Amino acid sequence: MKRTERIGAIIKILSDSPSKPFGLSYFCDLFGAAKSSISEDLKSAREIVRSMELGLIETIPGARGGVIFIPHIYDDQCLALQQELCGLIKDPIRMLGGGFLYTSDIMFNASLTKKMALVFARRFRSSGAEYVATIETKGIPLALMTSWMLNIPAVVVRRETKISEGPTISINYFSGSTGRIQKMSMAKRAALPGSHALIIDDFMRAGGSIKGIAELLDEFDAHVVGTGVAIATTEPENKKISEYTPLVYLGDVDENSGKIEVFPNSQIF
Amino acid sequence: MKRTERIGAIIKILSDSPSKPFGLSYFCDLFGAAKSSISEDLKSAREIVRSMELGLIETIPGARGGVIFIPHIYDDQCLALQQELCGLIKDPIRMLGGGFLYTSDIMFNASLTKKMALVFARRFRSSGAEYVATIETKGIPLALMTSWMLNIPAVVVRRETKISEGPTISINYFSGSTGRIQKMSMAKRAALPGSHALIIDDFMRAGGSIKGIAELLDEFDAHVVGTGVAIATTEPENKKISEYTPLVYLGDVDENSGKIEVFPNSQIF
Give the A window 178-217 contacts with B, CB below 8 Å. Answer: 178, 187, 189-190, 203
What per-residue confidence (pLDDT) applies to B160?
83
Query: Between chains, do B163 and A109 touch, taking CB under 8 Å as contact?
Result: no
Q: Which residue of B has its CA nearest to A145?
A: B110
Give the list of residues 6+ apart from residue B23 with CB closer than 8 angstroms, or none. B64, B65, B66
pLDDT mean over A186-207: 91
Chain A within 8 Å of B136 (Cβ-Cβ)?
Answer: yes
- pLDDT confidence tier of residue A98, bands split at 50, 70 and 90: confident
User: Would you call B140 and A145 a contact, using CB atoms and an 8 Å cutoff?
Assistant: no
The backbone torsions φ and ψ at residue A169, rounded to the nearest 5 degrees and listed phi first, read -110, 135
pLDDT of residue B189: 87
Query: Which B residues in the span 137-156 are in contact with A, Cβ-Cβ below 8 Å?
Result: 137-138, 140-141, 144-145, 147-148, 151, 153-156
Q: A5–B49: do the CB atoms touch at under 8 Å?
A: no
N-terminal to C-terminal alpha carbon distance within chain B: 41
CA of A231 to nearest chain B CA: how many angstroms apart? 14
Mean pLDDT over each residue of chain B, to the nearest integer:
94
Among the residue ranges A55-69, A242-256, B132-146, the one predicted with the least confidence is: A55-69
Q: Do A51 and B5 touch (CB under 8 A)?
A: yes
Per-residue confidence band for B176, with pLDDT thresholds at 50, 70 and 90: confident
Reported as a single tens digit per residue, the pLDDT across B48-61 is 999 999 999 999 88
- The pLDDT of residue B87 is 98
- HEC profile of chain B: CCHHHHHHHHHHHHHHCCCCCEEHHHHHHHHCCCHHHHHHHHHHHHHHHHHCCCCEEEEECCCCCEEEEECCCCHHHHHHHHHHHHHHHCCHHHEEECCEECCHHHHCCHHHHHHHHHHHHHHHCCCCCCEEEEECCCCHHHHHHHHHHHCCCEEEEECCCCHHHCCEEEEEEEECCCCEEEEEEEEHHHCCCCCEEEEEEEEECCCHHHHHHHHHHHHCCCEEEEEEEEEEECCCCCCCCCCCEEEEEEEEEECCCCEEEEEECCCCC
Tally of CB atoms within 10 A around B195:
14
Would you call A29 helix, strand, or coil by DSSP?
Answer: helix
Question: Over 90: is that where the pLDDT of A177 sits?
Answer: no
Statement: residue B171 has pLDDT above 80:
yes
Q: Which amino acid is at A38?
A: I
Q: Region A228-254: what's the mean pLDDT?
A: 96
* Chain B residues whose beta carbon lies within 8 Å of the beta carbon of residue A88: none
Cβ-based neighbours of A188, under 8 Å, separated by 6 or more: A166, A167, A168, A169
* Farthest-apart Cα atoms in chain B, separation: 69
Structure-model confidence comparison of residues A228 and B98, the more confident one: A228
Determine contact: B173 vs chain A, CB below 8 A: no
pLDDT (0 to 100) of residue A146: 98
Q: Do B12 and A7 touch (CB under 8 A)?
A: no
Distance from CA of A154 to the nearest CA of B (A): 6
The confidence band for B174, taking pLDDT boundaries of 50, 70 and 90, is confident
Query: Are residues B5 and A155, on separate chains, in Cβ contact within 8 Å?
Result: no
Rounded Cα gap, residues A35 and A20, in angstroms: 20
Q: Inspect the interface and report whether the beta carbons of A147 and B54 lie closer than 8 Å.
A: no
Give the pLDDT band of residue A32 (cuts 50, 70, 90).
very high
> Taking the alpha carbons of A143, A144, A150, A154 in that order, is the dihedral positive or negative?
positive
Q: Which of B1, B3, B4, B163 to mutate to test the interface with A (most CBs of A within 10 A)?
A: B4
- The C-alpha of B62 sits at a distance from chain A's nearest C-alpha, in angstroms, of 27
Interface of B with A in 210-269 (CB under 8 A): none
pTM, whole model, 2 decimals? Answer: 0.97
Specify the pLDDT at position A95. Answer: 94
| pLDDT band of A193, cuts 50, 70, 90 | confident
Q: How many CA atoms lie within 13 A of A17 on its CB side?
A: 12
In B, which residues are within 8 Å of A17 by CB distance?
Answer: 111
Q: Tell me whether A96 touches chain B (CB under 8 Å).
A: yes
Query: A257 in helix, strand or coil?
Result: coil
Taking the C-alpha atoms of residue A111 and residue A107, their distance in angstroms, rounded to an integer, is 10
Whether B164 and A96 lie within 8 Å, measured CB to CB: yes
Are B44 and A7 in contact (CB < 8 Å)? no
Separation of alpha carbons A58 and A112, rounded Å: 25
Q: Is B48 on the interface with A (CB under 8 A)?
A: yes
Contact A109 B166 (CB under 8 A): no
- Determine, for residues B12 and A52 on separate chains, whether the beta-carbon distance falls below 8 Å: yes
Is residue A35 pLDDT above 80, yes or no? yes
Contact criterion met (CB below 8 Å) for A239 and A206: yes
First to last CA, chain A: 41
Instruction: List, in order of start, the domains of chain B with CATH numbers.
Output: 3-70 (1.10.10.10), 75-264 (3.40.50.2020)
Average the pLDDT over B107-125 and give the result.
98
Q: Is B115 in CB contact (< 8 Å) with chain A?
A: no
Q: Is pLDDT at B162 greater than 90 in this prediction?
A: no
The predicted pLDDT at position B47 comes to: 96
Question: Nearest-CA residue of chain A relative to B158?
Answer: A137
pLDDT, mean of residues B26-42: 95
Nearest to B144 among A45, A108, A153 (CB): A108
Give the pLDDT mean for B34-40: 94
Contact between B14 and A16 under an 8 Å Cβ cutoff? The reply is: no
The segment with the largest mean pLDDT, out of A96-100, A116-120, B56-60, is A116-120
pLDDT at B62: 80
Q: What pLDDT band is residue A186 in, cutting at 50, 70 and 90?
A: very high
Task: Determine, for residues A144 and B110 on separate chains, whether the beta-carbon distance falls below 8 Å.
Answer: yes
pLDDT, residue A212, reads 96
Average pLDDT, chain A: 94
Q: Does B108 touch chain A (CB under 8 A)?
A: yes
Helix (H, G, I), strand (E, B) or coil at A172: strand
pLDDT for A230: 98
Alpha carbon of B134 to those of A61, A155, B140, B191: distances in Å?
Answer: 44, 19, 7, 15
For A142, name the nearest residue in chain B, comparing CA atoms only. Answer: B141
Q: Which residues pair with A203 in a beta bridge?
A: A231
Give CB contacts under 8 A, 24+ apart, made by B173-181: B173/B208, B173/B209, B173/B211, B173/B212, B173/B215, B174/B208, B175/B208, B175/B209, B176/B205, B176/B206, B176/B208, B177/A163, B177/A164, B177/B100, B177/B205, B177/B208, B178/A163
Inspect the interface and report whether the beta carbons of B96 and A138 lie closer than 8 Å.
no
Strand residue runs (E) in A85-167: 95-97, 100-101, 131-135, 154-157
Tell me if B148 and A189 make a contact (CB, 8 A cut-off). Answer: no
Nearest residue on chain A to B12, alpha-carbon basis: A12
Pair A52, B52: CB distance under 8 Å: no
Going by pLDDT thresholds of 50, 70 and 90, the confidence category of residue B163 is confident
